[in-house]
Structure 1
Amino acid sequence: MSEPSVLTTATGVPIRGHRPVRPGLIIAVFCLGLFMTLLDITIVNIAIPDIVTELRASLDTVLWIGSAYSLVYAVLLITAGRVGDILGPRTMFLAGIALFTVASFASGLSSDSAQLIAFRALQGLGAALLAPQGLPIITSTLPAARRGPAFAATGIMSGLGVLLGPTLGGFIVTHFGWRWIFFINIPVGAATLVLAFAFMPDIRPGLRHRLDIAGVGLLTLALLGMVFGLIEGQRYGWGTISGPISIPLVIAVGAVFLGLFVWRQIRRQKLEPLLPFSIFRDRTFTIMTLVLLAMGFAMVGVFLPMTIFYQSVLGLSAVAAGVVIGTQSLAMMITSGIVGGAGGSGRLNLKWVLFTGLVLFALGVSYVLLVAAPDVSRWAFVPGLVVSGLGLGCVWTPLFGLATRDLDPARSGVAAGVLDTLQEFGSVLATAVLGAVLAGRLSVDWHNRAVIAAAALPEPSRSQFLTGIGQAAGGGLQVGAGQAAQLTLPSDVAAATADQIRTVAAETFGAGFTDAMRPTMLIPVAVILAAAGAVLFVRDRSTTVGKSPGD
C-alpha cells in the first residue's frame, strides 16, 4: 500500500494537510493583515490630543500609547520569526491577527490611560507575531522569478498605510471619536482571520526544532534595555530616571545582555541557536540588513520633522497634511507596481534599481529642504515628494528581492525577524537621536531669532517675551500649534500686547524651526546616500530577477 503523497510548494517546501497553494490569495491575505498593523501605527498619533482630554492623562503618560506598541514590537520580532520557522508561519500569522484584533477591541474600551497602554502593548505583540511571517510565506510559495509582484504588493500596502493613516485618522477622530480608530480594526481583523484559515496553507519551511529559551531571554532583555533607553532618553534628558537608575545605565545593561546573547549564540551554532549566523554568510543579505537599518532611520528622520513643520509651522490640519504627504505615497505605489510587475519579466537588475531608488529618495528630500520656508505654499513640496516617492517605489521590491535571493527557506523566518528588527531599531534610533538634535537646534535658533524679534515689542514686554520663549523651547517638540502655543505670560499683560507677543512668538518659532530642520534632515539624507554606496558592494551574480544562482 503506497504512502499518501505529500503536497509541496513551487519551491519544494512541504505542506501539512491538503490545502492547495494559491500564491495570489496567500499574499493578499498577508497584505491585508500587514496593512492593518501599519495603519494602526500612523493613525493613533492623530488621536493623542483627544485621548489626553477624555482620559485626563498627562502628555508624558499618553506618549506611552505609541511607545508601548513600538517597544514590544521591536523586542520580539526576531523571536517571533524563529518561532515561525519552528511552528510554521501560518500558525504565527493566525495567532498574531487574533491577538491584534482582540487587543484593538480592548483598546477601544479602555477607561483609563493605564489600560490603553497595556492593550497597546498587546497590539504590539500581535503585530510582532505576524510581521515576520510574510517573508517565509513568499519565499516558500514563490520561486525567485515570481517574487517581485509579491514584494511590490507589500510596498504598496506600506504606502497605503502612510497615506491613509493621517487622513483616515483625522476623519474618524473628528466624526466618531478616538475609540473608533481601534474599533475599525475589528472587522478587518476578523475578515483576515477567516481568509487566512481558508486560503493560507500550513507551510513548514524548517525541520522541527527546539527553541533556545535562554537565548530568547537574553535577546529580550538586551533589546528591552536598548530600545527603552532610546525611546525614553529625551524625556529624561538622557539622565536619571529614578534613584541610581539612569538612561545611560539602562542602555549599557542592554548592551551587556546583547554581548551575552552573542556569546551564547556563538557556542550554540552547531546545536539549536536562536540566531543562526549562517544567514550572514551571504554578503548580499548582510548588506541588505544595513540598508534596511538605514531606511528605518531615514524614514523617521524625514517624516518626523516634516510632520511637525506641516502642522506647527504651516498650520495645516492633520487631514490637509495627509493630503500633501499622500503625493509621495501615491508616487511610491505607482513605481512599486511597475518595478514589481517588471520583476516577473526577469529583465531588471535589482542592484541598480535599488541604487537608483535610494539616490532619488535622497534627491527628493534635498529638494524639500531647499524650498522649505515658514511662509511657503504646501504645494511647493510636491515635486520633491513625488521624486522621493518614485525613489521609495524602487527600494522595497529590490531590497527584499536581493535579501531573499539565496536565502534558505528553513531560515527565512528568523531572517525576516532580523530585517524587521533592524528596520524598527533604525526608526527608534532616529526618533531618539534626530529628535534630540532637532529640539536642541530649535532651542538655540528660536532664542536667537527671539532676541532680534523682541526689538519690535514694547519695552516692558521684552523680558517677559524672552522668558516665555525660553520656557516654551524646553517643553519638547509638539505637533499641532507647536511650542508657540505653550508660551505663558503674566496675567497683567494687556490683551493687545499679549496677542502681539504670541504673533511674534509664532513667527520666530516658524523661522527657527525651519532653520533647525534643515541641518537635522541632512543627517538622514547622508545615511540614505551611504546606504546607496553600500549597495555597490552587492555581487552582480544572480542579481537579475528571474535568474537562479546556477544560471
Structure 2
Amino acid sequence: MTAVLEAPAPRQQRRRPLAAVLAAVGIPTFMVTLDNLVVSTALPVIRTDLNASLADLQWFVNAYTLPFAAFLLTAAALGDRLGRRRMFIAGLVVFTLASAAAALAGEAWQLTAARAVQGLGGAAVAPLALTLLAEAVPDRLRTAAVGIWGGISGLGVAVGPVVGGAVVEGLDWHWIFWLNVPIGVVAVVLALTVLGESRGGARRLDPLGLLLSASGMLLVIWGVVDGPERGWTSPRILTMLIAGAALLAAFVIWQSRNPSPMLPLRLFRSPGFSLVNTVTLTFSAGAFGSVFLLAQFFQVVQGLSPLDAGLRTLPWTAAPMIVAPLAGLFGDRIGQRALIFTGQLFLAAGILWLGLGVSTTVTYGSLVVAFILAGIGMGLTFAPISTVALASVTDKDRGVASGVNNTVREVGVAAGVAALASIFSSYGGYTTLQSFVDGTRPAVIVGAAVVGVGALAALRLPRRNHA
C-alpha cells in the first residue's frame, strides 16, 4: 500500500520501543491487507454454503474494496483534522465489529453488508498506519521501520489465500472473520497504549465530492457486475452505467471548482503522477481480477481443497514479499521507470501464460513458472510505483498524492474483479469443468492485456521524477 511519510512536528512525547510501535501499526495493516485476498480461496465453499450466485461472489470482494477506495481520502482528511490516532482506532473498532457480523452471516446479503462495513473501517486504518509510524520513531530508525512495515504488508498479501484455505479446511469459512475479532481487540489496546496523537493541517471536508465519487463508482461497478446476467442493453444496466459516468464527470467538474477539493486536479498536471496512476489502475485490475478466477480454478476444476489451492498460488503471492524490498533498495540505481516496465512485462507474461495454459487436464508443474514470473513482476512494481507517485508532486501534496494512489489501486481491484468476472460468465460458468475453463481462459487473457497496456504506459514515465 502506498502511504505518505510526513516529517513529524516537534513534540515532547516519550518514544516507545520500536518493536511495540511496529506491532501497533503492523498488526492492523496485516489484518486489513489479509482481508483483500483471504476470502478469494474460500469463495467456492461460501458459494455452496450460502447458495450464492456469481454476482454474490463478486460482491463479497467488491463490497469490501468499493467503500475502502471511496473513503480513503476522507479518512485521511478526518485524521488530519480530528486526530490520526483517533481515526485509526475508530477504523479498527469498526473493522473488528464488522468482522464479527461477517462471521455470523447466514445469507449472502448479510455477508455483503458486513464486508462493506469492513471496507469502511479499513479505509481509516490503511492511510494512517505509516503516518503514525513516522510520527512514533526517530529519524535514524525510520527507514528500517518502514522496510519492516512493508514486509508485514507483503506478508498479508502472500498468506491471504493460504490462511483462507487453511481456515476453511480445518475449521469453517466463518472463522476467516472470527479470527479478526481477538486480533482487533489486541490492536486497539496497542494503539491506545503505544501510539501518540498527531494532527496535520486542518482541512475542510468535501461531502459533495465524496457523495459524487462514491455513488458514481458504485453505479459503474454494479452495472458491470450485473451486465452479463441482465443484458448489457437492458434499461437497468444502461441507466446504471450512464448515471455512474455522469456522476463521476460531475465529480471532476466539482473538484475543478471547489476551493478545498478532496482530489486536487492540479496533481495530474505532473506527467509522472498521471502515468504512474494509469499503471496502478491497469496493474490492479489485471492482476487481482485474474487472481479472483485462478484462486477458484484449482478447487472447481482440479477438485483440490481450499488449503491446497491456496498453497499453489503461493509462488505468485509470496514472491513480492522478497522482491519488493530489493526493488526499493536498488530502485534509485536501476531507475524506477525500468523497474516498473520490467515488472509489468513479467506480470503480463505470467498472466498470459496462465490464461493460455488452463485446461481440465493441465498439471501444476506446467503453470508454476508462470506463477513465479507473475509474482516477480508484482514485486518489481510495488515499491517503484509508490516512489514515483510521491516524487512527482511537491512535499505539501504528498499526503493527498498517497491517498489518490491508494484509491486508484482499490478502484482497479474492484473494476478488475467485476470486468473479468463478467467476461467469465459470458463465455462459461460453473456448470461443468470445461465450462469453467471456457470462461476463465478469455477472462485471464484480457487481464494480461490490461497489464500489458500498463507496461506501455510505464515506458512514457520520466526518467527522473520531481515536482
Query: Is this a same-fold pair by TM over 0.5?
Result: yes
Corresponding residue number in structure 2 for 1:119: 114
Answering whether residue 387 of structure 2 is matched by residue 401 of structure 1, we say yes
Corresponding residue number in structure 1 for 2:37: 42
Please point out which of 335, 347, 350 is paired with 1:361: 347
CA deviations on 1:366-409 (whole Å, 9 max, x unpaired) are: 33345444322112211121122122111101110111125445
Corresponding residue number in structure 1 for 2:256: 266
The CA deviation at 1:439 is 2.9
Matches within 5 A, 1:337-376: 337-342=325-330, 347-369=333-355, 371-376=357-362
What percent identity do the matched residue pairs reach? 32
8 Å contact from structure 1 (residues 47, 178) kept in 2: yes
8 Å contact from structure 1 (residues 155, 397) kept in 2: no
One-letter amino acid matched to 2:362: V
Alignment CA distance shift 1:246-1:288 (3 Å):
same
8 Å contact from structure 1 (residues 21, 201) kept in 2: no
Answering whether residue 462 of structure 2 is matched by residue 539 of structure 1, we say yes
Answering whether residue 311 of structure 2 is matched by residue 323 of structure 1, we say yes
Corresponding residue number in structure 2 for 1:455: none
Q: Distance in 2 between matches of 1:213 and 1:132?
A: 19
Corresponding residue number in structure 2 for 1:212: 206
Answering whether residue 223 of structure 2 is matched by residue 237 of structure 1, we say no
Corresponding residue number in structure 2 for 1:497: none
8 Å contact from structure 1 (residues 233, 432) kept in 2: no
The CA deviation at 1:150 is 6.5
Corresponding residue number in structure 1 for 2:371: 385
8 Å contact from structure 1 (residues 354, 398) kept in 2: yes
Answering whether residue 328 of structure 2 is matched by residue 333 of structure 1, we say no
Please point out which of 212, 216, 220 is paired with 1:222: 216
Q: Distance in 2 between matches of 1:349 and 1:138?
A: 27
Q: Distance in 2 between matches of 1:110 and 1:138?
A: 35
Answering whether residue 279 of structure 2 is matched by residue 291 of structure 1, we say yes
Q: Which moved more, 1:252-261 or 1:305-314?
A: 305-314
Corresponding residue number in structure 2 for 1:310: 298
The CA deviation at 1:53 is 6.2
Q: Distance in 2 between matches of 1:151 and 1:401?
A: 13
Corresponding residue number in structure 2 for 1:275: 263
Q: Distance in 2 between matches of 1:253 and 1:541?
A: 40
Alignment CA distance shift 1:183-1:409 (3 Å):
farther
The CA deviation at 1:61 is 8.3
Q: Distance in 2 between matches of 1:13 and 1:352?
A: 32
The CA deviation at 1:435 is 2.2
Corresponding residue number in structure 1 for 2:170: 175
8 Å contact from structure 1 (residues 354, 395) kept in 2: yes
CA deviations on 1:262-284 (whole Å, 9 max, x unpaired) are: 2222112xx32222223223322
Q: Which moved more, 1:324-333 or 1:513-522?
A: 513-522
Give the 3-state SS of the residue equivalent to 1:483 in structure 2. coil
**RMSD between superposed Cα atoms in Å:** 3.4
Please point out which of 398, 423, 431 is paired with 1:483: 431
Q: Distance in 1 between matches of 2:28 and 2:140?
A: 25
- Name structure 1 gaps, 5 residues minimum: 1-8, 443-476, 485-505, 543-548
Corresponding residue number in structure 1 for 2:195: 200
Q: Distance in 2 between matches of 1:60 and 1:307?
A: 14
The CA deviation at 1:140 is 7.2
The CA deviation at 1:100 is 0.3
Please point out which of 416, 421, 431 is paired with 2:417: 431
The CA deviation at 1:14 is 1.8
The CA deviation at 1:33 is 1.6
Alignment CA distance shift 1:106-1:87 (3 Å):
same
Give the 3-state SS of the residue equivalent to 2:333 in structure 1. coil
CA deviations on 1:432-462 (whole Å, 9 max, x unpaired) are: 32222233333xxxxxxxxxxxxxxxxxxxx
The CA deviation at 1:246 is 0.5
Alignment CA distance shift 1:105-1:307 (3 Å):
closer
One-letter amino acid matched to 1:483: T
CA deviations on 1:224-260 (whole Å, 9 max, x unpaired) are: 32233233333433355xxxx6022022112222222
CA deviations on 1:126-146 (whole Å, 9 max, x unpaired) are: 012222334655787899999
Q: Distance in 2 between matches of 1:145 and 1:363?
A: 40
Corresponding residue number in structure 1 for 2:78: 83
**TM-score of the superposed pair, with normalisation by structure 1:** 0.74
One-letter amino acid matched to 1:81: A
Higher share in helix: 2
8 Å contact from structure 1 (residues 434, 520) kept in 2: yes
8 Å contact from structure 2 (residues 290, 443) kept in 1: no
Q: Distance in 1 between matches of 2:294 and 2:107?
A: 31
Alignment CA distance shift 1:147-1:49 (3 Å):
same
User: How many residue pairs were aligned?
Assistant: 463
**TM-score of the superposed pair, with normalisation by structure 2:** 0.86
Q: Which moved more, 1:150-159 or 1:39-48?
A: 150-159
Alignment CA distance shift 1:50-1:334 (3 Å):
closer
Alignment CA distance shift 1:74-1:14 (3 Å):
same
Please point out which of 526, 531, 544 is paired with 2:449: 526
CA deviations on 1:57-89 (whole Å, 9 max, x unpaired) are: 554685444443233223323322333343344
8 Å contact from structure 1 (residues 155, 393) kept in 2: no
One-letter amino acid matched to 2:425: A
Q: Which moved more, 1:257-266 or 1:157-166?
A: 157-166
Alignment CA distance shift 1:256-1:148 (3 Å):
farther
Alignment CA distance shift 1:208-1:238 (3 Å):
same
8 Å contact from structure 1 (residues 38, 162) kept in 2: yes
- Name structure 2 gaps, 5 residues minimum: none
Corresponding residue number in structure 2 for 1:252: 242
Q: Distance in 1 between matches of 2:20 and 2:392?
A: 25
Alignment CA distance shift 1:53-1:352 (3 Å):
closer
One-letter amino acid matched to 2:203: H
Q: Distance in 2 between matches of 1:10 and 1:140?
A: 8
The CA deviation at 1:101 is 1.0
One-letter amino acid matched to 1:69: Y
Q: Distance in 2 between matches of 1:154 and 1:381?
A: 31
The CA deviation at 1:294 is 0.8
Q: Distance in 2 between matches of 1:385 and 1:528?
A: 15
Q: Distance in 2 between matches of 1:400 and 1:115?
A: 35
Alignment CA distance shift 1:280-1:45 (3 Å):
same
Answering whether residue 66 of structure 2 is matched by residue 71 of structure 1, we say yes
Alignment CA distance shift 1:281-1:138 (3 Å):
farther
Give the 3-state SS of the residue equivalent to 1:279 in structure 2. helix
One-letter amino acid matched to 2:287: M
